[in-house]
Structure 1
Amino acid sequence: MNKYILVLFFSLIALQCKSQKLNPENMNTIVTPEFKRFDYKKIEDLKEKYNSNINLSSVRKDSTADFKFTKEYKDYQLLEYDKNGNLHQKTILKEDNSVEIYQKLTPFLDYYERYFSDGNIAVKGITSWLGFGIGKQYIFTKDGKIRNKKDFDEGFKFTFNDLLNYCNENEIDLASECEFPHRVVKTQDNSNKKYWIIEYCNSRLGRIDSFKIDGETGKVILKHSENFPRKGVIDKTNE
């Protein structure tokens, strides 16, 4: 990870939805087309220590976690925390020696890297646990050449920051806990018209509220609500 990502993380992390935004001008600094390799040394050292300590972790004097290193089935997982005890980065070492890294940018967005089993970079991009990507994504061949570049923001003049503003104005709290997971996806119709789809688990009213929003203008095309349990929602695939 480069120093720009670390600076961005500490400047953007926030607890309230109003401040959970990413400056588009910073995205080209975060996701770059340069080739890189994963350094296995830290993980291998932890694996060696883990064999004699099933609950390998480090806790600061103020009782906040520094890191936790565990084994989930056949995969090793390293969780690293900031000084406030918030999860900052998750590194997963797979059984085949491939690696996935998720570094927190905002509560909704992660910088994501995946490495081949030989340590060469495979994928770089910004993703969300809600179900979508933003900015540029680079996919590499095993010998380090760019195989594909995708711009997730193409055709979306109504950005994720705009979508967050809409959510704030309409009491849609995507960070809240609920019986069903919240979901936000990007989709398009047969004419390549872009849309945002929101599936919001409204625990207060006991229903799933779904919204289809024009990706260019931000106009709400369709609203739909269905009481729990969910029987189906509006389209999530190409129309």
Structure 2
Amino acid sequence: MRKLICFLSLVVIFSCKSQSKNIIIPTINNKFEKFDIKAFTENLIQDESFVLLKNADSIQQLQKQSYGFINRIFYHRNHFVLIKKFYHNYNLKEKGVLFNEGSPVGIWYHFDKSGKLIKEENTDEGYSFTPENVVKYCEKNKIELPEGYQKSGFHTQIIKEARNGKKVWVIKYLIPDGDIQMVVLDGQTGKEMERKTVPFVSS
């Protein structure tokens, strides 16, 4: 009897753990950085536009851009990606966190070409319904969110917008018939404001 009770207790514990998933948003600071041009040039393959550097907990994507360079850090089993943009002189331009396929979240830091911090932007201002709340909403409604580095193809997008003066979350995800389901949530309360199906158009 005692063994049965212990077994049932373990089942309850593990089922609770499997149901409650920690939502971790990568931390970021306002420190100045420079682009790792050496890692970029040494690992760049001919005819490729970007470099992938694989680590134990993440994949870094280094890529050239019109303004300079970008370093995207995708963490395994995480819905958020750390973004660092750099000028042509390799000095940091801005950095912050965004949903893997979507909009910025939290504080974004902006720098001038000399490396001076010139702006701290709170991208969550006006959003009482937090990014963590959005993830929980998606989990509850069985909306699959991308985790870590994703190859090409359409993946669920979470976008911040302003509609009629109201800040909202817009979630777009594929549904079984091949179209896209779009859901609009109130940025303050998380209340569903709109839900409609739109055709999927391949880019």
What's the offset of the Cα at 1:123?
1.0
User: What is the aligned partner in structure 1 of residue 195 from structure 2?
Assistant: 223
Instruction: Select the residue among 24, 39, 46 that pairs with 1:22.
Output: 24
> Which position in structure 1 is the counterpart of 2:80?
109
| Residues 201/146 of structure 1: CA separation in 2 closer, same or farther (3 Å cut) | same
Distance 1:17 1:111, change over 3 A: farther
1:208 paired to 2:192? no
Contact 2:129–2:190 under 8 Å retained in 1: yes
What CA distance in whole angstroms lies between the structure 2 residues aligned with 1:197 and 1:150?
21
Question: Structure 1 119/187 Cα, relative in aligned 2: closer, same or farther at 3 Å?
Answer: same
Q: What SS class does the counterpart of residue 21 from structure 1 fall into? A: coil
Paired residue for 1:91? 62
Counterpart of 1:56 in structure 2 is none
Residue of structure 2 in register with 1:198 after alignment: 171
Larger CA deviation: 98-107 vs 145-154: 98-107
Within 5 Å, which residues of 2 pair with 1:33-112?
A: 33-44=30-41, 47=42, 69-71=43-45, 73=47, 75-82=49-56, 87-92=58-63, 94=64, 98-105=68-75, 106-112=77-83
Q: Which moved more, 1:31-40 or 1:155-164?
A: 31-40
Paired AA for residue 192 in structure 2 = V
1:211–1:222 CA contact under 8 A, matched in 2: yes
Q: 1:121 aligns with which of 57, 79, 92?
A: 92
Contact 1:20 1:107 in 2 (8 A): no
Contact in 2 for aligned 1:134/1:153 (Cα 8 Å): yes
Q: Cα gap change, 1:229/1:141 in structure 2, threshold over 3 Å: closer, same or farther?
A: closer
Corresponding residue number in structure 2 for 1:58: none
CA deviations over 1:24-57 (Å, ceiling 9, x no partner): xxx6xx322222223444445xx2xxxxxxxxxx
**Cα separation, 2, equivalents of 1:102 and 1:224:** 32
**CA distance change for structure 1 residues 75 and 107 in 2, over 3 Å: closer, same or farther?**
same
CA contact (8 A) 2:129 2:188 kept: yes
Q: In structure 1, list runs of 5 or more residues that go unmatched.
A: 1-15, 48-68, 231-239
The question of 1:159 aligning with 2:133 is answered: no
User: What residue number does 1:185 align with?
Assistant: 159
Q: Which residue of 1 aligns with 2:28?
A: 31
- 1:70 to partner: Cα distance: 3.8
Q: Distance in 1 between matches of 2:99 and 2:67?
A: 24
Q: TM-score under structure 2 normalisation? A: 0.73
| 1:133 counterpart residue number | 104
Q: Which residue identity does 2:28 align to in structure 1?
A: V
Q: How many residues align?
A: 181
Alpha-carbon distance change, 229 to 153 in structure 1, aligned in 2, over 3 angstroms: closer
Runs of 4+ in structure 1 over 6 Å off: 176-179
**Do 2:108 and 2:120's aligned partners in 1 also have CA atoms closer than 8 Å?**
yes
Partner residue of 2:7?
none
Percentage of pairs with the same residue:
24
CA distance in 2 between partners of 1:117 and 1:17 (Å) = 46
What TM-score do you get using the length of structure 1 for normalisation? 0.63
Does structure 1 conserve the Cα–Cα contact (< 8 Å) formed by 2:169 and 2:186? yes
